[in-house]
Amino acid sequence: MARDTAHPINSLGFAKPEAETRVVVAMSGGVDSSVVAAQLAEEGYDVVGVTLQLYDHGAALAKKGACCAGLDIHDARRVAEEMGFPHYVLDYENVFKEAVIDEFADSYLAGATPVPCIRCNERVKFKDLLGTARDLDADCMATGHYIQRKVGARGPELHSAADANRDQSYFLFSTTAEQLDYLRFPLGHLPSKDATRALAAKYGLSVADKPDSQDICFVPNGNYASVIEKLRPGAAEPGDIVDHEGRVLGQHEGVLHYTVGQRRGLGIGGLETPLYVVKLDVEARQVIVGPKAMLSTAIVPVREINWLGDDAFDAVAERHVSVKVRSTRAPREAVIRPLSPITAEVELHAPEEGVAPGQACVFYETGGSRILGGGWIWRGD
């Protein structure tokens, strides 16, 4: 009787030795992706580190706490040297500007608090970088994101991270089933960021105590206005503050200085009812204000839907799920009514404030950890 010589499944899910399993690690230069690379290298995998230079490294050299430029590229290269695996830097500045930065400006001016990290994952890291990993004959690509990939009855599923405080599922909803088959997220099961830093110390990494990135990488010190002013000069021009019926209440110094939901700093005090920014109209150079009730909505139009469920998205008339309309909010129960394979109307059980076009609406299994996909909020017809 022939002996079964099949190799046991390794930690990345392949039935072959670690040394024969090539994994490309997307390295931002931070502690998370550095730990992923070091851990896989120590386990004996054929690791290749790749870092994307996404914006002007000259300007970024002086900025700490960003990713994908300057000091962080140096840090990623140093980790590769310390752990003894090859590392490559790819210049993706033009792609990043076209696919991420330009839309960021438009989304901000449409009244959203933009989430360019989603588009970066969708259009750059999980598209072009993933293609590069395939070109390098890698079996898979690993990242430092805090999210879990679990294999279910019908294939790989996306699940929230074990540590709810670090969970990045809101930013990864657009990961397709095909991409999920190829991706690995080794940190998703860890109980805390402290556990990640402990691993960094264990491997003796120079980035073990490096602080987390706080700002959007291309927005120095969180100053959105200065970036928008360069990208969309008209947004800095003065104009009228008007109420929802068009009455002029005051003047502003540029719509880019306002966000939907803002109450303070409007310069139109003395009114009986507090007013909030409810809309920004860049073309008319108007900041539209109204009572707080105008910020509340229960019906959310969603498009460009990426569905990760087991059946076709529009196979049923209604789906009872939980959704997030902002990254910082817990999932709330809702009903999704598919209008097509990629569009839907989402009805929230309880109305929420500050739902704005340009933000994501992410679908979760109610009472569970599985991410069922999501889409982009828009104004509707």
Residue-level pLDDT, tens digit, the chain, 381 residues: 444 457 899 999 999 999 999 999 999 888 999 999 999 999 999 999 999 888 664 444 344 444 555 678 889 999 999 999 999 998 888 888 888 888 888 877 766 666 788 888 888 888 889 999 999 999 999 999 999 999 999 999 999 999 999 999 999 999 999 999 999 999 999 999 999 999 999 999 988 888 877 667 777 667 777 788 888 877 778 999 999 899 999 999 888 888 888 888 898 877 788 899 988 887 888 999 999 999 999 999 999 999 999 999 999 999 999 999 988 889 999 999 999 999 999 999 999 987 877 889 999 999 999 999 999 998 766
pLDDT, residue 2, reads: 46
DSSP letter assigned to residue 247: -
- Around Cβ 117, how many Cβ atoms within 10 Å? 18
Using alpha carbons, select from 296, 279, 295 the residue that is nearest to residue 245. 279
Catalytic residue among 67, 68, 117, 120: 120
Strands 239-243 and 286-290: parallel
Q: Is 217 a known active-site residue?
A: yes
Residues in CB range of 214: below 8 A, 6 or more apart: 65, 222
In a 3-state reduction of DSSP, which class is residue 345?
strand
For tokens 């910082």, name the residue.
Answer: 328
pLDDT, residue 56, reads: 62
Distance CA 191, CA 202 (A): 17
User: Identity (one letter) of the amino acid at 140?
Assistant: C
Distance CA 332, CA 352 (A): 9
List the Cα angle 378/284/259 in 5-degree steps: 55
Task: Extract the tokens encoding 319.
Answer: 């789906």
Q: Are 361 and 344 in contact (CB under 8 A)?
A: no
The sheet that has 183-184: what strands, in order across it?
Answer: 87-91, 46-53, 22-26, 140-142, 183-184
Helices marked H in 43-142:
57-60, 70-83, 93-96, 102-109, 116-120, 130-135
User: Identity (one letter) of the amino acid at 135?
Assistant: D
- Binding-site residues for ATP, please? 26-33, 52, 144
The CATH number given to 19-221 is 3.40.50.620
Domain(s) labelled CATH 3.40.50.620 in the chain stretch across 19-221
Distance CA 60, CA 72 (A): 9
pLDDT, residue 367, reads: 94
The CATH number given to 296-377 is 2.40.30.10
DSSP letter assigned to residue 124: I
In a 3-state reduction of DSSP, which class is residue 107?
helix
On whether the 236-290 domain is CATH 2.70.98.60, my answer is: no
Phi and psi angles of residue 172, each rounded to the nearest 5 degrees, phi first: -125, 15
For tokens 């990713």, name the residue.
Answer: 67
pLDDT, residue 57, reads: 42
- Binding-site residues, please? 26-33, 52, 144
Catalytic residue among 67, 68, 117, 217: 217
Residues in CB range of 203: below 8 A, 6 or more apart: 35, 38, 39, 42, 83
Q: Is 68 a known active-site residue?
A: no
Distance CA 313, CA 345 (A): 13
pLDDT, residue 183, reads: 97
Phi and psi angles of residue 102, each rounded to the nearest 5 degrees, phi first: -60, -45
Domain(s) labelled CATH 2.40.30.10 in the chain stretch across 296-377
Distance CA 140, CA 24 (A): 7
Domain(s) labelled CATH 2.30.30.280 in the chain stretch across 236-290
pLDDT, residue 315, reads: 97
Distance CA 372, CA 367 (A): 13
Residues in CB range of 234: below 8 A, 6 or more apart: 282, 285
Q: How far is CA 19 from CA 15, 40, 137, 236, 313, in A?
A: 12, 10, 14, 56, 40
